[in-house]
Every structure is written in structure tokens, then in C-alpha cells.
Amino acid sequence: MRLLLTLLVFVLFSDCTAQSNSIQLKKEILNTQPKLVVGIVVDQMRYDYLTRFYTKYGEGGFKRMVNEGFNCKNNHYNYIPTYTGPGHASIYTGTTPKMHGIIGNNWYDKSLGEMIYCAEDKTVMAVGSNSGKERMSPHRMKTTTFADENRLFTQMRGKTIGISIKDRGAILPAGHSANGAYWFRGKNEGRFITSTYYMKSLPKWVQDFNKSDAAQSYIKVWNTLYDVSTYTESGNDLNDFENGFKGKETATFPYDFTKLKDKNEGFDIIKASPYGNSIVTDFAIAALDGENLGKDNITDVLAVSFSSTDYIGHNFGVNSKEIQDTYLRLDKDLERLFKALDAKVGVGEYTVFLTSDHGAVEVPSYLKSKKIPAGYFDSKGFEEKLKAFVAKRFAASDLIKNISNNQVFLNRKKIALLNLSLNEIQEAIVNTVINYKDIDKAYTAKTMRTSQFTDGIEKLLQNGFNQKRSGDVIFVLDPAVISYSPKGSTHGSGLNYDTHVPLLFYGKGIKQGHTVVKTEIIDVAPTLSALLGINFPNGSTGKVLEFVMK
């Protein structure tokens, strides 16, 4: 009898212990969410900026993420065009322009008959500026972001704040339900602003930041962080492939902004320097306290976009000393941000991802000097030639309404009025432009709608094709051929120099490691959603990168 009682007590004790362990395990599972997710987008960051400058980086910025986090080395954009607006939208929505509708930074609106801007919203007003040009919101983005889904999941208690030099870099990642999105107004103001989409007046912490004259403190000399002779990972400082600043004869260090400011749109000169990244870092750190981000167990989202890298890349090109110095300085700014997160949110209590909205091509004139195929597309000449062809072929003028973003938009009303065949005109354009110099491929909208491509440039085009918003004909330029000035560089293609960008994860819930398995930019949002245990963005087409998570 005593033995039976002993066994019964043991069984009951074991069962209680098992239940206790199960409850504890469930608590641990439910409490794996970070207090704060920080999304970092470095505008126009090619993957090789991570590796080219690696030995010059310190231990607390890029290297901290690489060495302690997870590095997806073969991460690509899976659509065309690779521009800032579509890039930021795709990262946070987990889908492509085909679904989220941001088909460019600007595009021709077929219903309005005019060019529109991706974040423009004439129903709102600027807050913090009297400018009529800062009326912005995310209303043109058709799907939710993972930040939106986090807001819904937490009954709107989890905050979302977006910050960037560029309005679209702050607005699109933050999503539709953000508590705030702030961007930098340069010109003669030098302050962070927002719009009435979010609020009626700037919070006190933002007002205090603007009153601190932080922008004025960056109107100073930009010289290299280290001796310029040590910048062996980039080309000569004096060359024929860079634009520079108005008021300075050569595009060479140093740049005295106190002397150059007035000839370069006032405080806008900060945008085109590493100091633009620094002031964004200053503002992001101020937001941690100002918005009480990561202060409780309800996950908040901070979306930070460093846009100055893009301005500098356009101005000076991929191989410039200016680009190298910018990334070495950004590395220091990242270290500052991570230290602030350690102190204010807590080590191991936050999760960070870092990626880019697109890469960039080497300056074609530089490539040509090295006997590498490259060139420049004559957009104006192309338009004149194509309009003349269509007018002659179909005995009618004004059948082409617009040519932009490597797309041709036809005058469908006039085509219908003249009882012409839309499909026939589309096919005729494809058949003629494919013979034009510098054009590699061309497809009709009908082809994009009715065919199912599984690989190659054609698949990328289809992922970027939005039936309601895209044009009647899409064409692709030859590799390293751009429509741009012979100095500086740009982006937009589906080639590796534009699609291959970093993807780093670090912090709570993230493994240490790396992979060369191909990942896509649309995988970021579902991965973060899985980490948070929330619904995926409503248009998400990416996959969860389970190998990056513990």
C-alpha cells in the first residue's frame, strides 16, 4: 500500500512538473518577440560595398551585424524597375510592384493623363513646413506592410515610426497605419517634417530637435575620415567621371559647405553628403526616447532609411573616394545607433535587419575607358523616332501619350476612336524598337498579362508589371547602358549590379551564420512577420527565411 501511494505521489508530481515545464515553455515561446524591430535601408547600397570596404570598417557597425548576426550573401531584387520607391515598398510589404502598385518613383497615370509621384497626396498638407511641395502619404501603396500588420496584431499599441532624408524612404516602409513618418526638408529650413496624414502638429521632441540647429552643425567641411591615400578600394579622387558640387571646380576633397551651401540649394547640400546619414542617426536616436520605443513587451517598429548614399552615388559614382568615405562614416553612425539601442532598449531585446532598395551601375564612361561594354541611351532621340514611326505606320498623330521608365503609354481613347487595333500597335512598336541601338528586349502589355515567365529578365519584368498602372510596351536596355549624364551613375535595371544588395539580420531571435542560397527582397517581410508571430502583409508573395531564425 505504501509503495502504491509513493508511486501515485511520484506520478502526480511528475505530471505537475511536466505541466509546469509546458506552461513555462509556452511563456518562453510567446515572449520571444523583440521589444523593437529596427529596419535599416541603405539607399543604393551594392552588396560589394560590404565586402570592398570591409577591412576599413570598425567592429561596431557593419561588422557587428556580419559577425554576430546572419548574412544572406546572395540576396536579390526579383523585379524591374529597381528604384527607391518600389524598393522600400517591396522590402516592407513582401511583394513586388505587380501587387503593391508602386511601379516607380514617378510614373505616368493613365487615368489622370499626367506624371505622378509615389508618395504625393494632394489631400494632405505639410506639418512643420510652409512648403506646398511636401504633401505626402502612403495612399498609392495598395498593400499592407509588416509594420501595419504588427499594429493590427497589437491592437494599435505597438508603435511604428519611419525616418529618412527622403519622404518616400520614411513613408512607404512605415505603412498606412504608422504613428509618424518624418523626412528632412532642406532648402532654407533644415528640419524634419511630416504631413497631416499623420498628425496636426509636430511632437515636442521633434520640435526640440529642430530647434537644436542640428542641421546647421553639419554645414562644415567634408574631408575624408582617414588619410585619402589609404582609400585603396576606390579610384582616383580627381577623374573625369564625377559631377561634384556647384561652386567648386573639381570633384575632389575637401568640400567646404560653408562656402558651397548657397549655390547648392541651402541645407539640401547635407542630403548629398555623409552628414545626411549622421543627422538621420541623430534623429532616430532622439525618436527612441521621444516615442518611448522598445520600452515594454509590445513590439514597436522603427524604419530608418539612409538616403544620402544614393545622392552621393548619383553624383560621384560607384568607384569614387566620396562613396568609400560615405560608407566608412555610415559604419560609425550605425555603431552609434546600435549603442543607443543597447542602452535604451537593452542588449538582446531588439532585432535589426539591414538591406538596400537597389544597387547601381559603374559609371558607363568609366567602364568604356576600361574596354568594358557600356553606353548611354538617347531618350529624347528615341521618343522622336518612335513617335514618327507610329504616326507614319498608322496614319495618325498623338497615338503615344508618354514614354517614361522604359515604358510606352498609348493614347487608348484615340486608338478606340479611330477604330485601330491596340494589340496591333503594341506589336508594331515592339517589332521596331527591338532593332534600335541600345535596346535589348521589348514586350507588349498583352505578353505580360497572358504569359507566365519562370526565369530571366522576363520574370523580373512581369513581377514589376502592374496591369492597371504599367505601360503598353516595356523595353530593356543593353547591360551597363543608362539614360543619364556621362558623369555620375544611376540604377533601375534587372542586372546584378542593380539587384544584388546586402541582407543582414541581427539581434533577438536571429542565428549567427551566413548563406549563399539565393534569397529575394520580398522574403524580408514574411520573415519578420514569422519572427513576430503576426499575420503576413496582405499581398506578401515572399517566403520565410527560417534558417536565419533561432
Instruction: Read off the pTM.
Output: 0.94
Question: Please, what are the averages of pLDDT over each run of 10 residues along the chain (550 residues)?
Answer: 42 45 44 91 98 98 98 98 98 98 98 97 97 97 98 98 98 98 98 98 98 97 98 98 98 98 98 98 98 97 98 98 98 98 98 98 98 97 97 96 98 97 98 97 97 96 98 98 97 98 98 98 98 98 97
- pLDDT for 117: 98
Query: Domain segments of the chain: what residues?
Result: 36-363+493-548, 378-437+439-477
Q: Specify the pLDDT at position 5.
A: 43
CB 331 within 8 A of CB 55: no
Spatial distance between the Cα atoms of 544 and 451, rounded to a whole number of angstroms: 27
Please compute Rg for the chain using Cα positions.
26
Distance between CA 442 and CA 40 in Å, rounded? 35
- 378-437+439-477 has CATH 3.30.1360.150 classification: yes
Start-to-end C-alpha separation, the chain: 49
CA 548/CA 530 separation, integer angstroms: 11
- Whether 196 and 125 have beta carbons less than 8 Å apart is answered as yes
55 is catalytic: no
Q: Could you give the maximum distance between any two Cα atoms of the chain, in Å?
A: 107
| Per-residue three-class SS string for 222-239 | ECCCCCHHHCCCCCCCCC
Q: 254 preceded by cis ω (within 30°)?
A: yes
Superfamily of domain 36-363+493-548: Alkaline Phosphatase, subunit A (3.40.720.10)
Q: With contact defined as beta carbons under 8 Å apart, do 478 and 375 qualify?
A: yes
Instruction: Say what the pLDDT of residue 331 is.
Output: 98
Residue 503 in grid coordinates = 541582407
Q: Which one of the listed residues 82, 84, 444, 519 is annotated catalytic?
A: 84
> Would 36-363+493-548 and 378-437+439-477 be classified into the same CATH topology?
no
Q: Is 394 exposed, middle or buried (0-12, 13-18, 19+ CB in 10 A)?
A: middle
Pairing of strands 255-256, 126-127: unpaired
> What pLDDT sits at residue 31?
56
